[in-house]
Structure 1
């Protein structure tokens, strides 16, 4: 039996070597820039939360099957966060009377779920969370959906690359209660079946409905509802506040010119138990990646479960794994070179201090500079710089040092020049653009 430790990361997680880390930092910077344009401020919370925080409102599947939970040394049951919204609600509730409203916050937390790793799903991921709290009307949903659309557009997505599909939980509750007249247990099972509908054959969908106790007449009514455009819904459901809210929402997004990427879809349910109003999911339209990228919705009762006043909220969570897949299939991933701009080479051991002094001088002027620490053949130093994507190499030998000169080699063009050390900084700045 071998005692060697595995070099592989824990299943469902990733190592981020410098090239992957560069891409992640670039992506997070783009996301922060986009949400900041709308006035959203960053926040964060702890990785561990009390288990009951998630047991109270997070979806049953996550709590029972996907939550990383354990008892700490004080015998307190805790969990690694699988989502950020419960932490957000707890933090807002703690300072509800002090916070200026509406509250516009965002975060990019590290999240954990014990899932079966597959395309678009890992056990550990980062997720952009964007939340707007303190606004009761659909104006809040309209802004949050705008943010989601602009995030993708700012990353280079075109008008036909994605679609926002929208529904309303109250509309579905009216269907379940007033039209289908389902029991609470039936409602939960039928909602789960609708959530799976797009991923399974029609026969399997009907089997789930039959198993939930639905009659053939109820199944026919449900199928008619799910196939109906928004303006035909009242003929099935009658008066519904959910329908009115959806009409108001679409009036706003159409007036803003966002109607072409927004569509009513009564199959959108969202799995979390805390959603109370409009829910939405953003779908990739690329044939190689037709799937939900991310989603969100309204949660008006989550903050109030901590004992204070209810504060309505709307938000979404965008995972980095599905977002990266989206950028990849649409050819939107950039090629990012290392940030280092200059390598100060080392001609000989005697030149260590002068080369270090030169590197310090260039760094003090704002350049990103790496310095060779041990002497080696000049060809190897150039090869090293080329492999790391460092465009310029500065060398100073004893004779050049005595004459106050330095040589610059541009690895992009292959050209090499000798220049006065007093002019070195200015020349490097010009060459770097």
Structure 2
């Protein structure tokens, strides 16, 4: 989605006011073997800021993800956001004397570290062209959890996140690199603390992507993508998956007969204008008894009835479906009764 967004922003750059804050949520598809937390069809939340190379934008994006955790009831003891700076890592690799041509292939190897055993990882580093001494040096870098203190960029991001109040959710991890080539600086991923799942979501800064997709100008950006399937599994594992109410209808407005359908519509309009969650039975030919059974099966707590007697008196019969109690009320009183 990110390359498509960059292409779209580049094409419309002359009509946009930067920085652009953009998000979307929708259905996505990918071709892979379905497994727990990953499917060929899923929903994904994308959120980005484009048009600024300030690390304040990175801090805001990361804080949005942390805020989302908090709203879901997930705690820093259950989930973390791990961050790194690929440029900072590349500078360290260069200082080790690693050939620049090996940098991106090496980053792809580092990205696989959490998926393989330590011995296999060491073998992969050797196969990538590192000698024993450089493998040891690189492992020291990847295990140095205080390495960010030497980076103005990372300390700046973490300080702003602290001001937002989400520093408990965020930690530096020099092993987070993200395997995609277009990331240029900050990279970050969501992980569960126990490590029972693969990366929950990920993102980063992509300052050159607009040019990579063919645009003549550079429009820096930062953002993340989060799918629903892994997040659902994490919420269930942590006992935080919400109990969703399937039907929130407060009242069913019944239709006594086709001749009185217009009265039922009138009452529905009144209730809806007052923000009462109202359902109007759609078939005026259906017997009232069947409409009441419909309300009971759907768990609708109240039904409103306007029959000949009610129409003559200008009243509405409101029936409580849980105890069977019925009252004849003015239309305005029905709203108060349903609050």
Could you tell me the TM-score, scaled by structure 1's length?
Answer: 0.69
In 1, the alpha carbon distance for the partners of 2:108 and 2:77 equals 29
Q: How much has 1:266 moved relative to structure 2?
A: 1.0
SS at the partner of 1:108? strand
Q: Relative contact order (alpha carbons < 8 A, sep ≥ 6): 1 or 2 greater?
A: 2
Q: Which residue of 1 aligns with 2:6?
A: 89
Query: Shift in Å at residue 264 of structure 1?
Result: 0.7
**Residues 254, 264 of structure 2: 8 Å contact kept:** no
In structure 2, do the counterparts of structure 1 residues 261 and 251 end up closer, same or farther at CA, with 3 Å as the change threshold?
same
Partner of 2:61: 144
1:296 is matched with which residue? 203
User: How many angstroms apart in 2 are the aligned matches of 1:369 and 1:233?
Assistant: 59
* Alignment deviations for residues 261-313 of structure 1 (CA, whole Å, 9 cap, x no partner): 2111011111221100010112233x595442212111100123333221111
Give the structure 2 partner of residue 64 of structure 1.
none
Q: How does 1:417-428 map to 2 (within 5 A)?
A: 417-420=326-329, 423=330, 425-428=331-334
Checking the alignment, whether the CA contact within 8 Å between 2:79 and 2:191 is kept in structure 1 is: yes
Instruction: For residues 111-140 of structure 1, give each alpha carbon's deviation from its aligned partner in whole angstroms, at most 9, with x where no partner exists.
Output: 221021112211122221111122222111
Aligned to 1:56: none
Can you give the 5+ residue segments of structure 1 that lack an aligned partner in the other structure?
A: 1-83, 235-242
Structure 2 partner of 1:345: 254
| 1:394 matches 2:304 | yes
Task: State how 1:308-347 maps to structure 2 within 5 Å.
Answer: 308-329=216-237, 330-347=239-256
CA separation of 1:228 and 1:220: change in aligned 2, threshold 3 A: same
Distance 2:69 2:227 in 1: 13
Equivalent in 214, 217, 237 of residue 130 of structure 2: 214
Aligned residue among 131, 149, 158 for 1:250: 158
Aligned length: 331
Q: Matched residue of 2:188: which SS?
A: strand
8 Å Cα contact 2:106-2:128 kept in structure 1: yes
2:14, 2:308 → 1: CA distance? 69
1:268-283 superposed matches below 5 A = 268-283=176-191
Structure 1 residues 251 and 346: alpha-carbon distance in aligned structure 2, compared to 1, 3 A threshold: closer
TM-score normalized by structure 2?
0.87
* 2:142 matches 1:223: no
Secondary structure, counterpart of 1:297 in structure 2: strand
Residue ranges of structure 2 left out of the alignment (5+ in a row): none
SS of structure 1 residue aligned to 2:13: coil
Aligned-residue Cα RMSD (Å) equals 2.5
Task: State the match for 1:375 in structure 2.
Answer: 286
Taking the aligned partners of 1:362 and 1:204, their CA distance within structure 2 comes to 71
Per the alignment, residue 126 of structure 1 pairs with 43
Residues 40-69 of structure 1 deviation map (CA, whole Å, 9 limit, x = unaligned): xxxxxxxxxxxxxxxxxxxxxxxxxxxxxx
Write the distance in 1 (CA, Å) between the matches of 2:149 and 2:97: 14
Deviation at 1:397, TM superposition (A): 4.3
> Contact conserved, 1:394 with 1:409, CA < 8 A, in 2?
yes
Aligned residue in 2 for 1:359: 264
1:44 alignment partner in structure 2? none
Q: 1:298 to 1:284 in 2, by over 3 A?
A: same
